[in-house]
Each structure stands twice: as structure tokens, then as C-alpha cells.
Amino acid sequence: MESAPETSDPICPLCLRTIPAGVPQSRHHLIPRLKGGRETVLLHHICHKEIHAALTEAEIARDYDTPEKLRAHPRIAKFAAWVAKRPPDFVSRTPGGPRRKR
């Protein structure tokens, strides 16, 4: 009897954890679209947000156009080491809610 082929979850190239189905994920342009980039990689959404919080699009295009270069950035390396200790389905909640008028 033949068994069904195993499907493996993709690996996030930033934190190197699996990306299970149903976990927030997004595609990251290795070179931003505004700079002519087309190639993308699939990341956990939390990892993608950290890249754009740490770097400008110009910096990404100029110096951080591969997952290896991104992981070498000090802030992103620290984040990747931290998030790698979390389960693959870890989602960070953003603190606070909408701002209230005073």
C-alpha cells in the first residue's frame, strides 16, 4: 500500500523555524519593489515586520538583499535568536489599542 507523500511546512529563512499552515505569514521582497525587486521569500509575519522596523527600503536594497545578510544585521540577529526559542505558531500581540483623545 502506498502512503501519501509527506508535506513539509516551509522554513522561514529569517528565524529558521517552520511556518505551519494557518500561521500569519507574508512574502518579503529581497530587493524592495520600489527598487525594482521581484524575488520574494516566505516569512513569518512577525519576522517580516521586524525587518521593516529595523531597516529602510534603501538599506534593504543596498546591503541586506539576502536572508543571510539580514540575519547578520545586529538587531535582526538578536530578534531571530529570541524568536527562534518560540514555537513556530508564536504570534506577538501589539501592546495597547487605538489611541484615546485627551
The 10s digit of each residue's pLDDT in 56-95 is 999 999 999 999 999 999 999 999 999 999 998 898 765 4
CA 10 → CA 23, 71, 88, distances in Å? 11, 18, 11
Please state, as a whole number, how many other Cβ atoms lie within 10 Å of the Cβ of residue 37.
Answer: 16
What nine digits make up the cell of 101?
483623545
What nine digits make up the cell of 46?
512577525
Q: Which amino acid is at 75?
A: R
The 10s digit of each residue's pLDDT in 20-59 is 999 999 999 999 998 899 999 999 999 999 999 999 999 9
